[in-house]
């Protein structure tokens, strides 16, 4: 098994990565808690492909989640490997996909390309 993945039965606290597009952002935004929504709004987050936002956790630090923008599902030129860019953007930690990207298998493959500092599940 690739070292980026936790073995079956082993658990660790994970940070959810939520994939958004221009067409899903409004709906996904409503699923974020009020603190996260306020932070995303104040940060000027826009769901343009490749943009990301680290959502702060409660008092005391840590991450509550990550937003990562993808191209629209109907975009014929969408980059199915784009989620792999996350490994160069995220701080060390354990992450999980909160919702599926365009192609979960290719995204997971891309995510394991450069995970020297991550523990991704």
Write the DSSP symbol of residue 70: -
Pairing of strands 93-97, 52-56: unpaired
Q: What is the pLDDT of residue 76?
A: 94
pLDDT digits (tens, 9 = 90+) for 18-75: 999 999 999 999 999 999 999 999 999 999 999 999 999 877 678 999 999 999 999 9
Q: What is the pLDDT of residue 3?
A: 54
pLDDT band at 1 (very low <50, low <70, confident <90, very high): very low
What is the three-class DSSP state of 100?
Answer: coil
| pTM score of the predicted model | 0.85
Q: What is the pLDDT of residue 121?
A: 44
Q: Between these two residues, 74 and 6, which has the higher pLDDT value?
A: 74
Q: Is the dihedral of CA 92, 97, 98, 101 positive or negative?
A: positive
């Amino acid at each position: 098994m690739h070292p980026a993945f936790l073995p079956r039965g082993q658990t660790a606290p994970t940070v959810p990565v939520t994939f958004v597009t221009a067409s899903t952002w409004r709906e996904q935004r409503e699923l974020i808690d009020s603190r996260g929504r306020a932070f995303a709004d104040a940060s000027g987050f826009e769901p343009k492909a490749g943009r990301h936002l680290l959502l702060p956790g409660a008092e005391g630090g840590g991450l509550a989640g990550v937003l990562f923008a993808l191209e629209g599902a109907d975009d014929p030129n969408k980059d199915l490997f784009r989620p792999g860019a996350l490994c160069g953007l995220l701080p060390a930690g354990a992450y999980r996909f909160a919702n599926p990207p365009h192609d979960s298998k290719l995204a997971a493959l891309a995510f394991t390309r450069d995970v020297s500092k991550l523990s991704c599940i």
